[in-house]
A = this chain, B = another copy of it.
Amino acid sequence: MAELNYEIKKTIGVLSESPKGWTKELNVISWNGRTPKYDLRDWAPEKEKMGKGVTMTEEELMQLRVLLQEIE
């Protein structure tokens, strides 16, 4: 994977952990020195590998929050 230059600015929380120790996490990450964004993806133990994920702006995250609040 090419996206290796990153800095985790903040861990907001862990959604789940797999039997092999991979965690699905919501973090605030700066990719390649750019403005930090919200980032939702799977991580191997010790952050050794990363899975595919999505990055979100604050506006997108707030819109996601609204959508989730409406789910029963």
Interface of A toward B, CB cutoff 8 Å: 12-16, 24, 26, 40-42, 51-54, 56-57, 59-61, 63-71
Contact = CB atoms under 8 A, between A and B. Distances in A.
Contacts of A61: 68, 71
A12 B65 contact: no
5 contacts: A12-B71, A16-B57, A40-B54, A53-B54, A65-B68
Contacts of A24: 54, 56, 60
Number of copies: 2
A33 to B, nearest CB: 20
A13 B67 contact: yes
Contacts of A66: 13
